[in-house]
Chain A
Amino acid sequence: MADKINIQALLEESHINEVLDALDQDLIGLVPVKQRIREIAAYLLITKARLQLGIEAAKPSLHMCFTGNPGTGKTTVALKMAEMLHRLGYIRQNHVISVTRDDLVGQYIGHTAPKTKEIIKKAMGGVLFIDEAYYLYKPENERDYGQEAIEILLQTMENYRDDLVVILAGYQDRMATFFKSNPGLSSRIAHHIDFPDYNETELLEITTLMSDAMHYNLDENAKLAMCEYIQKRKQQPHFANARSIRNALDRARLRQANRLFNDAIQHKKQTTAEDLSLITEADIRASRVFSASQ
């Protein structure tokens, strides 16, 4: 058995640097998350080297928990994580099965176990991403079937460690209560990653990134309006970080289309390619967020 191993070569052959770089570029902010993922990547790479040299016998537990408010990029990071694990050879398939309580828990006695097992079978070899995982446990109803799903999950997480990586996601406080009532689950999760909220500058950057991806431009005034919009929207209930930005942009696109349509039909204006991709201040200022605060 060799007692030397080339970490550099291992790193290059797994191509995880590309995933990590993509993570850095595609995701704005989230510095602590990126830091944690780099740490995990390094840990997994070293473990892989240890496995190859025979120092380590068993694969490490890879189950994770992503906590954070809605729209902070948990699902996106889960997809990247699956790709990373796949490239490092910890999972065989680069797929993420994203489920919620409805997909796991049945409606009558005896319905839950087959349903949960079905999903587990589908996710085998890849990543099972359980969004809003705390909904699985409903303490107010002791006959709730969620408990059954949790037990099956626990069993699979333990017995099929090589075949399945489970990622639980949800709001931080509710996940904390969830883990408190299911200590078995908490102890089987190796990595807890917390997703911080975006600040206003980051949200504006996200706006630019999203509009670029949709091939739209915001002019200077529109950007200022967007800035104001973000400040106001943050104060309102149900603020969902990047998701709210996406929705705001989608509605702005709707208003822009409406405006261009009216201009063309009523005022017989010529529409240029530039017009088609320009979102103006008016498109954003027409939002309900502005009218509600006055």
Chain B
Amino acid sequence: MMTNPNGIVTQGQFSFLPALTDVQITSQIKYALSKGWAISVEYTDDPHPRNTYWDMYGAPMFDLKDPAGILMEINNCRKTFPNHYIRVMAFSSQHGVESPTMSYIVNRPTNEPGFSLVRQETEGRNIRYTIHSYATDKPEGERY
């Protein structure tokens, strides 16, 4: 595929780049903290792009001053779910924003089988398209 040369799920920021190193993650967290955003760590094993509600790994972290604590949490999550997607989210509570401001994947399964395109023939000669992840054929927790 020309558009996705790495053959990996591309969601959120930096997903077309090579995986972020811990140093790079730390500086991203530092940026978010400098803006006063609350940071949370989330994981899932359903890579569908419309799967917006991932599982929270611990509570969102408010009032932190240093990225080390968040990196510790990311590494704990990696240890617990080595073969899941893990993302770091930053949430801005500023009036009028009140929504996630950053989101990037920091951990992904070693092997990502990708998606198939399901064509459903409907009324007339219309076709409805569905993106189906090969991974989700298996039950949750056994996918990767």
Contact = CB atoms under 8 A, between A and B. Distances in A.
Contacts of A126: 65-66
Interface residues of A, number: 16
A126 B66 CA distance: 8
Nearest to A94: B65
Interface string B61-98: 10111111110110000000000000000000000000
Contacts of B67: 125
Contact of A125 (B58, B61, B63, B65): B65
Interface stretch (A114-122, A208-216, A265-273): A114-122
B69 A93 contact: no
Contacts of B72: 121, 124, 160, 163
A95 interface: yes
Q: Is the interface of A mostly helix, strand, loop or mixed?
A: loop
Contacts of B59: 114, 118
A124 B58 contact: no
Nearest to A156: B72
Nearest to A159: B72
Interface in A174-211: none
Contacts of B66: 92-93, 124-126, 163
A156 to B, nearest CB: 9
Contacts of B68: 92, 124-125, 160, 163-164
B65 A121 contact: no
Nearest to B61: A121
Contacts of B65: 93, 95, 122, 124-126
Nearest to B66: A125
Contacts of A160: 68, 72
Nearest to B62: A122
A120 to B, nearest CB: 7
Contacts of B70: 121
A163 B58 CA distance: 21
Contacts of B64: 121-122, 124
Interface in A102-121: 114, 117-118, 120-121
Interface of B: 58-59, 61, 63-70, 72-73
Interface of A: 92-93, 95, 114, 117-118, 120-126, 160, 163-164
- Which 5 residue pairs are nearest across A and B when measured between Cβ atoms? A125-B66, A121-B69, A124-B69, A163-B68, A124-B68
Given A95-B65, A121-B61, A122-B64, 10 more contacts: A92-B66, A92-B68, A93-B65, A114-B59, A117-B58, A124-B72, A125-B67, A125-B69, A163-B68, A164-B68
